[in-house]
Chain A
Amino acid sequence: MSVLSSLSRAYERLPDAPPYGFSSEKIGFCIVLNADGSVHDVIDKRQDDKKRSPAMLLVPQAVKRTAGIAPNFLWDKTAYVLGVTAGEGKRTADEHAKFREMHVQWLAGTQDEGLLALLRFLDAWTADRFTAPVWPEDMRDQNIVFALASEYRERYIHERSGAKEIWQRLGTEGASDPQICLVSGDPAPIARLHPSIKGVWGAQTAGASLVSFNLDAFTSYGHEQGDNAPVSEVATFQYTTALNRFLEKDSGHRLQIGDASTVFWADASGLISEMAESLFAGMFDTPEAAHDDDSIETKKIAAKLERIRRGERLDEVEPQLTQGVRFHVLSLAPNAARLSVRFYWENDFAQLTRNYQAYLEDTKIEPPPRDGWPPLWRYLVELAVLNKRENIPPNLAGEWTRAILTRTPYPMTLLATALMRIRSDGEVNALRAAVLKSVLVRNFNKEAPVALNPTFSDSKGYLLGRLFAAYEEVQREALGRNVNATIKDKFYGAASASPQKVFATLDSGAQNHFTKLRKINAGRAVNLDQLIMSIMDQMSPDKDPIPAFLNAPEQGLFGLGYYHQRSDFFRKRDTKTDSVTETQPETTA
C-alpha cells in the first residue's frame, strides 16, 4: 500500500476525526457579535498555561495560501479579519479588503441571523477601532472566530446550519470533472492543491507540502498542479488530516530521529493499536512523560518492553499483537517548502519486534553504556559534531532506522562517521563501540566479540586496539592521570589507520614508561608487561602483524579492541585487586 492510501485508512480510525471539509486549527480569540453586527464582547480562548497556547477548534478547512491573498471561510488571522497585525503589514489592508469582499460574495442572499450579523460587522468595521481595552494587544496575529451573543455557549457562527450549507455548496462549486483517484481507484473530483503538513521539524512553520508540483520540472504531459497525480479531494483531506494529527506534539505517534520527523501507526482496533504504538515509541525513545508518569499503564508497557529487550518472543509478551497487526512507519524530512519521504516501512508488528531484537543483539556490548539502556537518539548524538542533536548527519539517521526496521545492512556512512568522530575527539565509549560492533556484525559478517575476548586473534585490528590500550595504561600508571596529552590524544587516529607508522614509536615510548613504573609499582609493571606479551604472542610475525594500513572494518575492530581492553583496566581498578595473580590476563579462558 502506498503512503497516501494507508494514511487515508488511518484517518477512518482517528477517534475524533474532523468531518470532511473541516480542520482543527489554533484559535486564539472569539468575537461575540450582537444581531445588529455590533461587538458584544471579545473572548480569550487561549489556555492558562505559561505559553498561553491557543485552543484547537474545528473550523472550515483552511485554504492553501502561497503567495496570493486568500481568506478562510468565517475565520482567519487578525490581518484578514480586522486588518490589524503586530508586525509591519504591507498588504494588511488588501487582505482585510479581500476578506470582506469574499464574505460579501459567499454570504450573498443569506437569511441566517449569524451570517447577517457578521456581514453587518464587516460593513461597519475599520481598523482604527482596534483599541484597548475591548481589543487586547495580545489579539494581534491570532486566529479569530465569531459567535452570536445569544448563543455563544452553544455554537460559533461557522457551526450554524446556514454556514455549513454554504460551506458545502462552496466545496462542490470548485470541483473539477471526476477522474480516477490513485488512492481509492474511484472517479471523484481531483484536488488541485494539497493542504499543508504541519509539525515537521525544520520545515517552514506555515507547513510544507508532501504532494506538490511547484515547478514546471515536476509536471508531465501538460497537466497542471494536482492533475499530475490525481488524488481525490476526499482522499487528500483524509491523508492530510491523519498525517497532521500524527505529527502534533504528544500525539503518541511521533518520534524525532535525527532531522527526520517520524510518525507511526498501527492498522488495528483501538486498544491493540495503542499497545503497539506505545511499545514502538518505547523501543526507539524514552519519552519524557514516562519518567514522571507512574500510572499502572506506563509501568505495564515498561515491563513489556523490558521483556522484549531481553529477547523474549512477542507471542509470549503480548500475543494479541501477533495476530497480523500491520504497522506503518513514515519518516519525513524537510526540503524548504516541500517534504520528502525519508522512508516508509510497513509490515507485521511481530516482524518489527524480531527486527528490533536483532538490532539489540548487534549493538550488545560489554561493559554496557553507563546510563542504562540507550534509545536510538543517544547513539545518533554520538555521531554528531559536539554531540549536538542538530549536527546529526542528515540522511544517516533515517537510513539507519530503516535498516533497523527492515533488518538489512546498515548504511556504510555509519561506520565511516563513527570512525571519523572517534578520530576527531579520541573518545571511544560504549555507545560508539556498540555502533562499530553492530556494523561489523551486520555488514561485514565479521565475528566481533561482545565483551573482552583475550583469545580473539582473528583480527589484527582488534589485537592492535588492545595493545594500544595497554600502552596507554602503562603511560597512565607511570605518569599519573594528569598528563596534558596522552598517547591516545596524540596517536589514536594514526594508530588505528596506519599502525606501522606509530607502533614502533609507541613501543619505545612504553619502555621509558616501564622504567619509571618499575620504581613506583613493580607488581603493576610486571602485570602490564605480561599483558602486552600475551597480546603480542597472538600476532604471528609471518603474517604482517602491524600492517601499513587498516581498512575501515579493521579500524572498527581496533576501536572495539581498544574499548574492551581499556574498560577492563577500569573494571579491575574498581574491584581493587593489586595482587599479581589476579590482574594476569586470562589467556586460557
Chain B
Amino acid sequence: MAHYTITTGMAFAIYCGRHHHFCQIPLARIDFLDKLTLFKGKIMTYGIRLHIWGTHGLFTRPELKVERASYDVITPSAARGILEAIHWKPAIRWIVDRIHVLEPIRFQSIRRNEVGHKAPAGKIRAAMNRGDLADLQILVDQDRQQRASNVLVAPAYVIEAHFDLTAKAGPDDTVGKHLDIFNRRAAKGQCFNQPSLGTREFVAHFALVPPDAVIPSPDGHSWGAMLHAGQTNGAPRPSRAPEAETSDLGFGTPRDLGFMLWDIDHMAPGRPSMFFRATLRDGIVEIPAPGSPDIKR
C-alpha cells in the first residue's frame, strides 16, 4: 500500500475474486483499501486525459437552442461524445470526471443558414416499407432559415475521464484491454467519426495527454496564442494561457455557471434531462459522478 500515492479523484480497479472481473472502488471507501490484499499488477488507475481544442465551439443551451447560445464551457455529455468517437463499445461506459478550461471564455455571434425541419421518422419508415423514396427529401434551398448563434471562440480543454464496464461486458472485456485500445487510438489520432465541439460544424482536434504530463503545463504556447499567431497546425501543449487565469475562470473566487446539462437519461421513459450545478474553480469544472445527489433528475 505504501508504494502507491493516492490522490483524490483517481479511480481504482482491483481484481475481485468473487465477481471474476475488475471492480471499481468508490473513493469514499479508500480507507478500506488497507484491509484488502493489494499487490502490484492487480491495482491500476485507468483514468485518461485528452486535450481537445478547435476554432469554435457551440454547446447549445436547451432553453436557447432555437437562436442558439452556448454554455460557457463544454458539457459532460459533449465531452463523452468526443471520447466515444475515439473508442466505444457496448461493454464500456465513459464517465467524465473533470474538465480543465485552458482558454478565456469568449463568445462571438454569427448568423447561419439552417434547415427548418427534421426528416420525419414516420415518413422514412413508410418509404422503407413502400420501397420508394418519393417526397422524402428536405430541400435546403426551399426550407431555409437564417438563425443566429452565440458560439465560443477558440475553446480548449483537457478532459479527465474514466470508464466503467457495463453489464454487457463479456469475459474478454477487461479494463486493461479497452484502456489500451483507447490510448493507442487517441495517440494515433484515430476516430470512428470526427469528434466535434458541440455541433458538427466545429471540428474537435484532440491529443492524448501523457500520464506523466502536468496539466496545465506551465510551458509552451496555448492554443489561443497559436491561433492568433496564425500557427494552427500541430498539436499544441495543453497549457493554460496566463491571460486566462482571471476571475472569469474561477481564479480567486469560484464562478457559478448555473445549472448545466449533465446528460440525458435515455433509459428513463420520456428521456428527461439531468442537470448539475457547474462551478469553475481555478479553471476546473468538477463533474459529479453518476448517481451522485448533485445530479438533479
> Residues of A with Cβ closer than 8 Å to B?
1-5, 179-180, 182-183, 185-186, 210-219, 221-223, 228-231, 333, 335, 338-344, 347-348, 351, 395, 398-399, 402, 406, 408
Contact = CB atoms under 8 A, between A and B. Distances in A.
A228 B109 contact: no
A342 B69 CA distance: 9
A3 B118 CA distance: 28
21 contacts: A2-B257, A3-B69, A5-B259, A180-B273, A180-B275, A185-B277, A186-B296, A212-B66, A217-B116, A218-B65, A223-B270, A230-B62, A230-B273, A335-B148, A340-B148, A341-B148, A343-B107, A344-B107, A347-B247, A351-B247, A402-B107
A408 B106 contact: yes
A216 B109 CA distance: 24
B272 interface: yes
B106 A406 contact: yes
A182 B275 contact: yes
Given A182-B261, A211-B64, A342-B150, 17 more contacts: A1-B256, A1-B257, A2-B61, A2-B258, A3-B64, A185-B259, A211-B66, A212-B66, A218-B65, A222-B271, A223-B271, A229-B63, A333-B148, A340-B147, A341-B148, A343-B107, A347-B247
Given A185-B277, A347-B248, A406-B106, A229 B65 contact: yes
Interface residues of B, number: 40
A216 B66 contact: no
B289 interface: no
Interface string B36-78: 0000000000000000000000000111111101000000000
Contact of A183 (B69, B108, B247, B259): B259
Q: Which among B109, B248, B275 has the highest number of chain A CB atoms within 10 Å?
A: B109
A215 B297 contact: no
A339 B118 contact: no
Contacts of A212: 66
A217 B144 CA distance: 11
Contacts of B259: 2, 5, 182-183, 185
A338 B106 CA distance: 24
B117 interface: yes
Q: Which among A216, A229, A348 has the highest number of chain B CB atoms within 10 Å?
A: A229
B114 interface: yes
B62 A229 contact: yes
B55 to A, nearest CB: 15
B109 A398 contact: yes
A228 B272 CA distance: 9
A341 B69 contact: yes
Interface string B253-275: 00011110100100000111111
Nearest to B295: A180
A340 B69 CA distance: 8
B247 A343 contact: no
B125 interface: no
Main secondary structure of the interface of A (DSSP, over half): mixed
A190 to B, nearest CB: 10
Nearest to B153: A408
B117 A215 contact: yes
B35 interface: no
B84 to A, nearest CB: 18
A395 B271 contact: no
Contacts of A348: 247
Given A217-B115, A341-B64, A335 B109 contact: no
Sorted nearest first, the 4 A-B pairs with minimum C-beta distance are: A340-B67, A229-B62, A340-B148, A229-B63
Interface in B61-114: 61-67, 69, 106-109, 111, 114
Nearest to B138: A217
A213 B109 CA distance: 20
A399 B259 CA distance: 26
Contact of B62 (A179, A228, A343, A399): A228
B121 to A, nearest CB: 10
A348 B255 CA distance: 12
Q: Which among B66, B117, B272 has the highest number of chain A CB atoms within 10 Å?
A: B66
A259 to B, nearest CB: 12
B64 A221 contact: no
Nearest to A351: B247
A351 B247 CA distance: 10
B257 A399 contact: no
A561 to B, nearest CB: 26
B264 A182 contact: no
A343 B150 contact: yes
Given A180-B273, A216-B117, A221-B271, A339 B109 contact: no
A229 B264 CA distance: 12
A497 B26 CA distance: 67
Given A229-B63, A399-B109, A344 B148 contact: no
B117 A339 contact: no
Contact of B114 (A3, A186, A217, A222): A217
Contacts of A217: 114-118
A185 B273 CA distance: 11
A341 B149 CA distance: 8
Nearest to B297: A180
A228 B275 contact: no
A342 B117 contact: no
A182 B274 CA distance: 9
B264 A221 contact: yes
Contacts of B65: 218, 228-229
B62 A182 contact: yes
A5 B258 contact: yes
Nearest to A216: B118
Nearest to B148: A340
Contacts of A342: 109, 148, 150
A389 B131 CA distance: 57
